[in-house]
Amino acid sequence: MTSPRSSKAAQARFTEQEALQFHAQGKPGKLEITPTKPLTTQRDLSLAYSPGVAVPVHAIANDPATVYDYTSKGNLVAVVSNGTAILGLGNLGALAAKPVMEGKAALFKRFADIDAIDLLVDTEDTEQFINAVRYLGPTFGGINLEDIRAPDCFIIEQRLKELLDIPVFHDDQHGTAIIAAAGLINALELTGRDLESCKLVVNGAGAAGIACLELAVSMGIPKSNVILCDTKGVVYQGRKEGMNQWKSAFAAKTKARTLAEALKGADALFGLSVKGAVTQDMVRSMAPKPIIFAMANPDPEITPEEVYAVRDDAIVATGRSDYPNQINNVLGFPFIFRGALDVQASTINEAMKVAAAEALAQLARAEVPDQVAAAFHGRRATFGPEYIIPAPFDPRLIVNIPTAVAKAAMDSGVARKPIVDMDAYVAKLEGRLDPLAGWLQSTFSAVRADPKRAVFAEGEEPAVIRAAHSYFSQGFGVPILIGSADVVREQFRALGMVIRPEYEIIDTHKNAHIEEFSSYLYARLQRRGYLKRDCQRLVANERNVVGALMVAHGMADALVSGVTRNWTSVYDDVQRVLDPEPGRNVIGVSLVLLRGRAVLVADTSVHDMPTSTELADIATEAARSARNFGIEPRVALLAYSTFGQPRGERSDVVHEAVAILDERQVDFEYDGDMAADVALNRDLMRHYPFCRLSDTANVLVMPAFHAASISTKMLKELGGATIIGPILVGLSRSVQICGFGAKDSDIVNMAAIAAYDAGRRG
């Protein structure tokens, strides 16, 4: 993420077409339901359905609390909306709210391992809405109300809280208020101010605006120091137009009648209204070191660039993820519900909200530990104007916020199942998310901070052109497309895309470096059976060779190819130009992400039938990759046998590889030979108390290429795993080879990984 203090304007990171394609590709939408019990045999069916299911039915009827033992209720949240205030887009109806609600449900899963489902209630009548949710209530462990306009949302939430014995939480009110409060606490500290003297203006007197104001006042800002504004201007005492009881509670005794007048001399502004509602003149008139949280989504009231152009002393936050300081309720709702569900809280009360806000504020001020810095590629965010609030991918959130919320629930008497062993709870929370799962995101952030020139060798291919364009628009750097200039231009035209002036097109036949490249290649290949004219032909015709030569000569930082040719032929071309890094071995590692779990698999590309020494090398290289990904490796050398049983030729090779690692005294955990289920299943591993792995393996070294390739592809097709890679590691320059027929999103990911690798090399 580049700082808006230095960049001239925010770039669109994707096109509208890309956003639609993202939602349409594969299974349309962002959610699916997966059973947690096997349903394969007659017996399974008898247990899961009739007649076995009758047993838990009776148990729950006799003791309703057992519903948490026998059903998914305890980890299930409904995200409910009628679409009357979808983000800052207005009342677009229940159906149009579905992408946002599916998105919120997906975030519950991604960040807090909570199963959530969207429910769209197609009515603007508050009574009908309340009844719909009320009668569906028993299904869920919690209700997250979303994007319901004010003042209806206040009535709906209050009534549902009274009617239901599970947490009911209007995210736009309290989620937003908690995050804004945490940000404000920190921004005030940074600017040497306190809540008691802070003059705050809130623009937007709806769900979010009123709730933010309520929390700010309850935390210490005097009511006399706040001014609330809406579409009619200042909410002042005596105003008649467009009022309701919630606005009246904050009607100010002031002569100011417009937002511009209210902001004169103000210390802080919360924007919770619509795009563009705040002007540069307004910002200019604020107090020194103004605090400006422009939180409207998807576009803020004023952009950080616009603020910094007139006030370089400001602290600015938005609701968006592409600027520093994202004040967005995504930092709250997953983690707050996690804590509330884990103690079976009957409600989310004020004590729990304040605990969440304080824990968040503290997290941004805390020293970033090594493990977190590693997950963010060594970048240590330090508390300051551009880091007043943690980023959603911070792996500490899943521990710090739920524990604070759970403790507050217990202390305030609303926890029905208090946590007895807090250390065990912390360990359980840590286990819910693997730091690797956020790896791609933090890789992308690192590349945006240090953009790279990437060669796209197959520059005439539509998918590659889309990827190159996306590479640029995501801020990863400048793309260089190899191909005939005429064909590339024609393809851009056919795709309805514009070639930006920064893009470079390299026509291999007209390349100014043909002679220099040929001589370089000839020097490398003359004793491998190549004549000078063979090298000239390669340089004139082979785009992968040219791409690799450009990287070798420092004309580009990274190369990505492999969309139109099989992996081995691309790798052969690359090897003609590039060697392994001294002391390294070139291997492929694949990152497998599935249901919150992440493992690295190696070697997924180079060695066909590795010897024991090569397997030991692969294990060492894979462990090194794991550390680069920010995780401490626990390497299992896999076989069909476990610790010598049953024996066989390949198992013996794996066994010898372990002995070689013993001799080398490597500095990572490893063991084998071991079957995959023993490596990945704690209960099975316990049968081998002598096993040297301290926990289940996170790096799997396959006995041969075919096992690696088959298992990762099966995981993708049958298990629905996300596979990133094979990522090529160990080469002297940064090159990535995509799979044959890769989609544009895969290509751009690989290009960004190559750029990241180039950045690490310096």
Rounded distance between C-alpha atoms, residue 166 and residue 348, angstroms? 9
Candidate segments 37-45, 52-60, 73-81, 293-301, binder of ligand NDP by CB under 6 A = 293-301
Contact criterion met (CB below 8 Å) for 640 and 606: no
Q: Residue 755's CB: how many other CB atoms inside 10 A?
A: 27
Phi and psi at 656, nearest 5°, equal: -65, -35
Instruction: Work out whether 207 is an interface residue with ligand NDP (CB under 6 A).
Output: yes
Residue 229 binds which entry of ligand PYR, ligand NDP, Mg ion, none, CB below 5-8 Å type-dependent: ligand NDP
- Contact pick of 81, 144, 186, 273 for ligand NDP (by CB under 6 A): 273
Rounded distance between C-alpha atoms, residue 141 and residue 273, angstroms? 31
85 class by beta-carbon count within 10 Å (0-12 exposed, 13-18 middle, 19+ buried):
buried
- Contact pick of 147, 230, 614, 757 for Mg ion (by CB under 5 A): 147
Which of 513, 466, 470 shows the shortest CA–CA distance to 488?
466
Instruction: Work out whether 458 is an interface residue with ligand NDP (CB under 6 A).
Output: no
Q: Which residue number, 206 or 475, has a Cβ lying nearer to ligand NDP? A: 206
What are the structure tokens assigned to 86, written together?
Answer: 């979808």
Q: How far is CA 256 from the centre of its chain?
A: 42
| Residue 86 beta carbon to Mg ion: minimum distance, rounded to whole angstroms | 8
Q: Residue 610's CB: how many other CB atoms inside 10 A?
A: 23
Contact criterion met (CB below 8 Å) for 402 and 339: yes
Q: Which residue number, 328 or 734, has a Cβ lying nearer to ligand PYR? A: 328
The answer to whether the annotation marks 534 as part of a ligand binding site is: no
Rounded distance between C-alpha atoms, residue 106 and residue 757, angstroms? 30
What are the structure tokens assigned to 220, written together?
Answer: 């210490």
| Residue 220 beta carbon to ligand NDP: minimum distance, rounded to whole angstroms | 22
Number of helices followed by number of strands (H, E) in the chain: 32, 21
Contact criterion met (CB below 8 Å) for 139 and 73: yes
- Contact pick of 115, 172, 746, 757 for Mg ion (by CB under 5 A): 172
Q: Which residue number, 233 or 630, has a Cβ lying nearer to ligand NDP? A: 233
The answer to whether the annotation marks 88 as part of a ligand binding site is: yes
Ranges within 52-91 binding ligand PYR (CB under 6 A): 87
The answer to whether the annotation marks 89 as part of a ligand binding site is: yes
Instruction: Work out whether 103 is an interface residue with ligand PYR (CB under 6 A).
Output: no
The answer to whether the annotation marks 261 as part of a ligand binding site is: no
- Contact pick of 134, 232, 513, 713 for ligand NDP (by CB under 6 A): 232
Positive/negative CA dihedral, 499, 503, 504, 505 = negative
Phi and psi at 80, nearest 5°, equal: -115, 130
Contact criterion met (CB below 8 Å) for 199 and 268: yes
Candidate segments 26-34, 147-155, 182-190, 661-669, binder of Mg ion by CB under 5 A = 147-155
Q: Which residue number, 102 or 230, has a Cβ lying nearer to ligand NDP? A: 230
Q: Which residue number, 357 or 750, has a Cβ lying nearer to ligand NDP? A: 357
What does the DSSP 8-state code read for residue 10? P
Instruction: Work out whether 620 is an interface residue with ligand NDP (CB under 6 A).
Output: no
What are the structure tokens assigned to 201, written together?
Answer: 């203006």
- Contact pick of 4, 83, 88, 438 for ligand NDP (by CB under 6 A): 88
| Residue 100 beta carbon to ligand PYR: minimum distance, rounded to whole angstroms | 7
- Catalytic residue numbers read 104
- Contact pick of 119, 213, 227, 327 for ligand NDP (by CB under 6 A): 327
Q: Which residue is nearest to ligand NDP (CB)?
A: 206
Which of 510, 492, 508 shows the shortest CA–CA distance to 500?
492
Phi and psi at 726, nearest 5°, equal: -60, 135
Residue 231 binds which entry of Mg ion, ligand NDP, ligand PYR, none, CB below 5-8 Å type-dependent: ligand NDP
Q: Which helix (H) or strand (E) holds 254?
A: none
Q: Which residue number, 208 or 708, has a Cβ lying nearer to ligand NDP? A: 208
One character per residue 274-303, x = contact with ligand PYR (rule: CB under 6 A): -----------------------x------
| Residue 151 beta carbon to ligand PYR: minimum distance, rounded to whole angstroms | 16
- Angle, CA of 683, 726 and 488, to the nearest 5°: 150
The answer to whether the annotation marks 529 as part of a ligand binding site is: no
| Residue 175 beta carbon to ligand PYR: minimum distance, rounded to whole angstroms | 7
- Contact pick of 75, 186, 329, 561 for ligand NDP (by CB under 6 A): 329
Ranges within 155-214 binding ligand PYR (CB under 6 A): 171-172
Rounded distance between C-alpha atoms, residue 476 and residue 675, angstroms? 40
Which of 141, 119, 4 shows the shortest CA–CA distance to 67?
141
Instruction: Work out whether 544 is an interface residue with ligand PYR (CB under 6 A).
Output: no
The answer for 114, left when phi > 0, alpha when psi is -120 to 50, beta otherwise, is: beta
523 class by beta-carbon count within 10 Å (0-12 exposed, 13-18 middle, 19+ buried):
exposed
Instruction: Work out whether 697 is an interface residue with ligand NDP (CB under 6 A).
Output: no
Ranges within 104-143 binding ligand NDP (CB under 6 A): none
Give the position of tokens 């002393």: 313
Residue 203 binds which entry of ligand PYR, ligand NDP, Mg ion, none, CB below 5-8 Å type-dependent: ligand NDP
596 class by beta-carbon count within 10 Å (0-12 exposed, 13-18 middle, 19+ buried):
middle
| Residue 126 beta carbon to ligand NDP: minimum distance, rounded to whole angstroms | 13
Candidate segments 145-153, 154-162, 366-374, 651-659, binder of Mg ion by CB under 5 A = 145-153
Which of 436, 384, 62, 333 shows the shortest CA–CA distance to 191?
384
Residue 610 binds which entry of ligand PYR, ligand NDP, Mg ion, none, CB below 5-8 Å type-dependent: none
| Number of amino acids touching ligand PYR (CB under 6 A) | 8
The answer to whether the annotation marks 146 as part of a ligand binding site is: yes
Instruction: Work out whether 87 is an interface residue with ligand NDP (CB under 6 A).
Output: yes
Which of 631, 621, 708, 703 shows the shortest CA–CA distance to 666?
621
Phi and psi at 78, nearest 5°, equal: -95, 130
Ranges within 300-329 binding ligand PYR (CB under 6 A): 319, 328-329
What are the structure tokens assigned to 181, written together?
Answer: 């409060």
Contact criterion met (CB below 8 Å) for 727 and 440: no
Q: Which residue number, 271 or 479, has a Cβ lying nearer to ligand NDP? A: 271
- Residue ranges binding ligand PYR (CB under 6 A): 87, 147, 171-172, 297, 319, 328-329
Binding-site annotation, residues for NADP(+): 86-93
Interface residues with ligand NDP (CB under 6 A) are 85, 87-88, 149-150, 172, 176, 203-209, 229-232, 242, 272-274, 277, 295-297, 319, 327-329
Give binding residues for a divalent metal cation as ranges. 146-147, 172, 297
Which spans of this chain sit near Mg ion (rule: CB under 5 A)? 147, 172
